[in-house]
Every structure is written in C-alpha cells, then in structure tokens.
Amino acid sequence: MPNRRTIIGVIGAGQCDAATEAQAFEVGKLLALRGCVLITGGRGGVMRAASEGATGAGGLVIGILPGESAEQANEFVELPIVTGLGEARNVIIARTAHGLIAVGGEYGTLAEIAFGLKFGKPVVSLNSWPVDRHILQVSSPGQAVECVLKAIEEGHGQAGAQAKNG
Amino acid sequence: MPNRRTIIGVIGAGQCDAATEAQAFEVGKLLALRGCVLITGGRGGVMRAASEGATGAGGLVIGILPGESAEQANEFVELPIVTGLGEARNVIIARTAHGLIAVGGEYGTLAEIAFGLKFGKPVVSLNSWPVDRHILQVSSPGQAVECVLKAIEEGHGQAGAQAKNG
Amino acid sequence: MPNRRTIIGVIGAGQCDAATEAQAFEVGKLLALRGCVLITGGRGGVMRAASEGATGAGGLVIGILPGESAEQANEFVELPIVTGLGEARNVIIARTAHGLIAVGGEYGTLAEIAFGLKFGKPVVSLNSWPVDRHILQVSSPGQAVECVLKAIEEGHGQAGAQAKNG
Amino acid sequence: MPNRRTIIGVIGAGQCDAATEAQAFEVGKLLALRGCVLITGGRGGVMRAASEGATGAGGLVIGILPGESAEQANEFVELPIVTGLGEARNVIIARTAHGLIAVGGEYGTLAEIAFGLKFGKPVVSLNSWPVDRHILQVSSPGQAVECVLKAIEEGHGQAGAQAKNG
C-alpha cells in the first residue's frame, strides 16, 4: 500500500514580476525538500516558478490544467491533469491540497483562497489578499512552508471552516 | 426568435439573519420589476429570500444547484438546474449572470465575487466583502439594482477585468 | 410559488443532415405544445433545430453552453446558461432533465445517453445509439414525445437505474 | 525538467465479480511494468483491483475522486485528486489519459468510453461495451496493454476523432 504524502497547493498569478517568481521558486523548493507533493494550476508565473523550484529539489509536481490539452502545462509539471473545466478547476486544487500557500495573486487566486477557507484548509498568504483573519500572514518562503505544515499537523483550518457556512 | 433578458445573479450565504433576508427579498423584487431574470445558487438564506421577492413580483427564477437533485431547490426556484458539481457550480452563476449583487455572505460568496471580477462582470456589494476597489459599494437594495443595471448598460466591469490576469 | 414544469432534454450532434434536423424541429415543437421546457446543449444541428421548433410553438428553451460566452448559443435559446466546462456540461443536462430524447448523434450524445441511464432518467432514442435495452426505441417525433412523457409519469427509468452501479 | 510518462486510464464498475477483478489487477500490474502511470476513478471494484496490481508492481496510481474527501479513495491510490464534481469527473480521466482500457463496466464506463472516443483517445475494451467499431476489442489483459500502447505510439484514436463531431 502506498504512503500518501502531504500535498500542498501553491497558488498565484499566471504572470508576475521577478521578485514574486523568486519567492514562488523558493516555496516550491522548500516544499520538495520537506517531502511534499506540489499541486498548482499548471501554467505560468507563480505556478511555473514553484514547479521549477520543486522539480529542481527532486519533488513531484501535479498541474491541474484548465484547458483541453497537456500542452498548456509548464515544462516542470510531471503529472498534467487535463480538466477542460476552465476556472472551475480551481475547486479541485483547493479540495485536493492539504493546505494552500498564496504567493501574490489576482482574482483567480482570491477565488482559490476563498474555496480553501470554505473547505477548512489552512491558507497561508505571502503578499497575497489580506481579506480574512483566518488567512495566515507570513513574510518569507521559509515561514510560508513551516506555517502551512504546522497548521496541517495541528488540524488548523478545520476550526475556522466549521464556524462558516455560505 | 426569443428576446434575451438581462440575467442578474444574487449571491450570499445559505443562512442569514432577518435583516439580510429582508434586503435580499427587496433586491429580488426590484430585479423582477425591472424585467430581469434572477439567477442564484438555488438554496436557502439570501438565495431563497431573493427568489421569493422575484417570484412575488412575477419574475423568472433560475437556481443553479450544487447537489444531485432538484429537491434541494428552495420553493421559489422556477427552473432548477441540477449540476451535481458542488461548489464548482459558483463558476456557472458568475459566467451566466450579466452582473452580480452580493448581499452579505461568507467564503462561498467571496469566491463568487472573485470569479465575477475575473470574468469582467459588474459586482455590487450590499454589506458584503469590501476586498477590491472594482466592487461597487451600495447601501440599499434600490441602489444595488440601479447600480448593477447602469454598470451593465455602460459596459463596466469589462474594463477592470482586462487589467487583471491570474 | 411557481409551478415547476417538466423539463425535457433533446440531445444530438452539433451538425446533422436535413432529415435529422426536421425530426429535431418536430420534437421541440411537440414538447412546447405539451407544455414542457426544452433543455439542450445550446449549439447547432439537432440542438438548434429542436430549439427553433420549441420557440415557434411558444416554448421556453434553456441552453447549457460548453464555452465561456453566451454568444455561442443558437438564436433560439432564450436562457443561455454559460458553464465554461466543456463536455462536462453534458452531465448537467442529464441531471436537470426529467427525461431525454436522443435524435441521431455521435459520441457526445452517447455520453449523454449513458449519463441519463446512470441517473435513472427515461431515455428515448430516435435513430440514435441502440446500446442498451433500457433505451426506449421510437420511430417518429410524436412517439418520442409521448414515450418520454409516459415514462416520466409512470416513474420509469428509476427502476433500471437502481439495478446498475458503476 | 521531469520526463512525462504515459498515463493510462483503467475504467470499469465500482463493484464487479472476481473474474473481472482478476483481469483488472493484471492490467494494472502490466501497465506498471511497462512504466505507465495508472489513472482511475479512485474507488472500488475494477478501479481498486487495477490500482492494487499497479502498486504491487511499483507503479504510480492517481485516483480522480467524485466526492469531497480523499477518504473515499481505495487504499492503493497514491495520489488522490479530490474533485467534488460527481460523475463529471469522468471527463477528467478521459482528457488526462493517453489511452483508456475498459474492463467490463456499466453506464458510467459507457460515458467514459464515449468521452474517450470523442477526445480522440485509443479505447480498448476487455469485455466492455461493444458500441463502436473504433473501440479496440481484446480478449486478455496482456493484449489490452499492448494494444493501447501500440495505438498511442501510432497516433491512433486521433483519426477516428477527427471524423466525428457532436
């Protein structure tokens, strides 16, 4: 029987500046070094940088693609899951990951954060949307990774979720 | 050939207090009086109150249901669309509506607002998440309805959307 | 409280010959005359012809669109539901309709028939896939409409479904 | 940059007899020995048996789950992808796999076969639905695996798909 590893979602914009990319790369790398599987939306920007970081450190990278072809995955995705569902694929990332790390991000990232909170997952923000006190604010990639893993271990996220419905 | 009427989404929590319900009822009623079709998630709370308001004023009400049966629709939904997609059905409401009015709301509503902004739809907030300057803040049901219809007429929402990607 | 009308799905290919179109038109027309709401995939071929028939007879037509814009609906769709889900939108038609009438059709239609059978809905075939004895074979539009309405009234479909799982 | 391995979907009923289970086990095992990643719907019956076969031979197993929790995955799924999409998750398997092997199966399997054919994927049937001449009929697990890999290598499936629309 296989051991199931912890799966962490890294979410953020498909286009971003070099500083955000560098942070996403570092988050991906640290997650891989901690033995986590990385799940992202499989495309560019934050998704690609985190995947590159994870791959370079020997990690496994899953990409949940919005379109109809594996061709749209960035080159660091090892397992492209082709959904054809457009933005609805965000729900799959939020449901599959044990915790989420948002790095910067635009409206798609905000939707993902909202789903993560709704599903009771720990959500860590590195310069992302500060919309809710249940989001764990951090200021470095290292803190982001430690914070999400600690919250998963302690069963956080679930509590916030149970107080909310709608 | 049928005329296509303007479709407005009213979004909010599945459970809410009486004051929020009264506002949602009034929004639904005013939308129907302005000739709009109402689309909601088809369940309780804000969704049910808006549907009751619209139905009482002779409006047509569509409910985009998360579960696998029309039985879960509130009694004021005339056309239950049964998706079986869970929370991913929020994407359908945001894509189908020409504009969205959020009345209060929790994390599911926040995801819906984010999708609405991403898809370039006008999003009006009546005591809902104040997360972004592109959300149109109003303080009464009457303002909410006028504001969303004016924004649709003027093609607002689209502009905000084009500046964003991710 | 609104009365919920019977919703019937007409499924078939997006491109078809004139004879198939004529049959789909007639099916749509007869459904409208019997007071049913028509639901289709909202595009061309069988979907468009059935919608034209229903609209001409004063019926209400819902189109469950695969793409991201209402623009792709045929001109006889009164209520375009924009899913952005691609082929996964077929599941919504099979779940929402009380019964399905397949007119000709290719692989997408076969998937729809399979979902209809799985969900325990009566499925009528007019020159469509003869894959299973639970599919009700008919030879004219008039028979198709009578057959599906009779099966719904008698609660057929459900029985077949309960014997099946997988 | 990671090498992308061939991903094969094994589809079939969630409950099945011992003979079908034995075939599914063997298919899973042979796929793993050929270096393929296995993708299934993640649940019981054929899905579980194929996953057990693949895991025992050192293969990687992805389960695309219909429900809202990884708990519903069988114990041989290494990577549970939690969709919450119900039957619509079948589309993801058909889009993600490079080829499909159907082992027995009921209506859900038929829908999957139809989507596979629609998306131009090679579809191999081992005692499954004989609905179309494009389905490759085989009589043993060994033949099933060789047949699907040969078809992928030769680019089959695509041709059939291009002649079809709807």
Contacts D41 to A, Cβ<8 Å: none
Any chains having at least 3 CB pairs less than 8 A from chain B are A, C, D
**Strands B37-40 and A37-40, sheet pairing:** unpaired
pLDDT at A51 over 70: yes
Beta bridge partners of C154: none
Helix (H) or strand (E) holding D110, with range, is helix D107-118
Angle, helices B45-56 vs B18-33, to 10°: value is 40
Give Cα C61 to chain centroid, integer Å: 11
- At residue D157, the pLDDT reads 61
> How many beta-carbon contacts under 8 Å exist across C and D?
90
Contacts C62 to B, Cβ<8 Å: 79, 81
Over range A92-111, report the average pLDDT. Answer: 97
Residue B10 CA to residue B93 CA, distance in Å, equals 9
Would you call D84 and B86 a contact, using CB atoms and an 8 Å cutoff? yes
Would you call D118 and C107 a contact, using CB atoms and an 8 Å cutoff? yes
Tokens of B72: 């879960």
Smallest Cβ distance to D166: which of C12, C113, C115?
A: C12
Kindly provide the b/e burial profile for residues A58-73, where b requires at least 16 CB atoms within 10 angstroms of the residue's own CB.
Answer: ebbbbbbbbbbebebb
What residue in A sits closest to C89 (Cα-Cα)?
A: A85
Residue D108 CA to residue D88 CA, distance in Å, equals 10
Which residues of chain C are at the B interface, by a Cβ-Cβ cutoff of 8 Å?
1-4, 7, 37, 55, 61-62, 64, 68, 70, 75-85, 91-92, 95-96, 119
Task: Please list, in sequence order, all residues whose beta carbon lies within 8 angstroms of the beta carbon of residue B10, skipping any fewer than 6 positions away.
Answer: B24, B27, B28, B31, B38, B39, B40, B46, B47, B50, B100, B101, B103
pLDDT at A116 over 80: yes
* DSSP letter string, B69-117: -GGGS-TT-SEEEE---GGGHHHHHHHH-SEEEEES--HHHHHHHHHHH
Contacts C91 to B, Cβ<8 Å: 83-85
Average pLDDT, chain C: 93
Q: What does the pLDDT look like over D29-58, one tens digit per residue?
A: 999 999 999 999 999 999 999 999 999 999
The whole-angstrom distance between C4's CA and the closest CA on chain D is 25
Test the A interface: residue of D68, D78, D79 with most A CBs within 10 Å: D79
Would you call C88 and A86 a contact, using CB atoms and an 8 Å cutoff? no
The whole-angstrom distance between B20's CA and the closest CA on chain D is 29
pLDDT at C165 over 90: no
Over range C81-104, report the average pLDDT. Answer: 98
Residue closest to B77 by CA, chosen among B109, B104, B40, B113: B40
Average pLDDT, chain A: 93
Helix (H) or strand (E) holding C114, with range, is helix C107-118
Give Cα D42 to chain centroid, integer Å: 11
Q: What does the pLDDT look like over B37-50, one tens digit per residue?
A: 999 999 999 999 99
Contacts D85 to A, Cβ<8 Å: 91-92
Look up the pTM and report it: 0.94
> How many beta-carbon contacts under 8 Å exist across A and D?
75
Residue closest to B2 by CA, chosen among C35, C97, C52: C52
Residue C111 CA to residue C89 CA, distance in Å, equals 11
Residue D104 CA to residue D56 CA, distance in Å, equals 22
pLDDT at D164 over 60: no
Give the confidence band of C166 by pLDDT, cuts at 50, 70, 90. Answer: very low
Q: What does the pLDDT look like over A119-142, one tens digit per residue?
A: 999 999 999 998 888 999 999 999
Would you call A111 and B107 a contact, using CB atoms and an 8 Å cutoff? no
Q: What does the pLDDT look like over D88-111, one tens digit per residue?
A: 999 999 999 999 999 999 999 999
Residue closest to A135 by CA, chosen among A8, A89, A118, C109: A118
Beta bridge partners of C11: C102
Over range C105-120, report the average pLDDT. Answer: 96
The share of chain D scoring above pLDDT 70, in percent, equals 93
Tell me which residue has tokens 């095992």. Answer: D29
What residue in B sits closest to C70 (Cα-Cα)?
A: B96
Task: Please list, in sequence order, all residues whose beta carbon lies within 8 angstroms of the beta carbon of residue A34, skipping any fewer than 6 positions away.
Answer: A145, A149
Q: What 3-state class would DSSP assign to A35?
A: coil
Degrees, nearest 5: CA angle D161-B85-B83: 85
Give the confidence band of C130 by pLDDT, cuts at 50, 70, 90. Answer: confident
Residue closest to A93 by CA, chosen among C63, C164, D81, C123: D81
Tokens of D139: 């009589």
Residue A127 CA to residue A139 CA, distance in Å, equals 7
Residue closest to C51 by CA, chosen among C78, C69, C71: C78
Test the C interface: residue of D91, D107, D118 with most C CBs within 10 Å: D107
Q: What 3-state class would DSSP assign to B6?
A: coil
Tell me which residue has tokens 């007899």. Answer: D17
- At residue B30, the pLDDT reads 98
Count the Cβ atoms, other than its own, within 10 Å of residue B106. Answer: 23
The whole-angstrom distance between D84's CA and the closest CA on chain B is 6
Residue closest to B144 by CA, chosen among B47, B8, B40, B7: B8
Give Cα B63 to chain centroid, integer Å: 10
What is the widest separation between alpha-carbon atoms in chain B? 42
**Strands B99-103 and C37-40, sheet pairing:** unpaired
Count the Cβ atoms, other than its own, within 10 Å of residue C66. Answer: 21
Q: What 3-state class would DSSP assign to A58?
A: coil
Over range C72-96, report the average pLDDT. Answer: 98
Tell me which residue has tokens 């996953």. Answer: D51
Which residues of chain B have a pLDDT value below 50? Answer: 159-166
The whole-angstrom distance between B89's CA and the closest CA on chain D is 9
> How many beta-carbon contacts under 8 Å exist across A and B?
92
Please measure the distance between the N-terminal and C-terminal CA atoms of chain D and give it in whole angstroms.
Answer: 37
Residue C133 CA to residue C122 CA, distance in Å, equals 12
- What is the SS3 assignment for B32-77? HHCCCEEEECCCCHHHHHHHHHHHHCCCCEEEEECCCCHHHCCCCC
Give the confidence band of A23 by pLDDT, cuts at 50, 70, 90. Answer: very high
Average pLDDT, chain D: 93
Helix (H) or strand (E) holding C8, with range, is strand C7-11
- At residue D131, the pLDDT reads 87
Task: Please list, in sequence order, all residues whose beta carbon lies within 8 angstroms of the beta carbon of residue A157, skipping any fewer than 6 positions away.
Answer: A99, A116, A117, A120, A121, A122, A123, A134, A151
Which residues of chain D are at the C interface, by a Cβ-Cβ cutoff of 8 Å?
12-16, 45-46, 85-88, 91, 105-111, 113-115, 117-118, 129, 131-132, 164-166
Q: What does the pLDDT look like over C148-162, one tens digit per residue?
A: 999 999 987 654 443
The whole-angstrom distance between C117's CA and the closest CA on chain B is 15
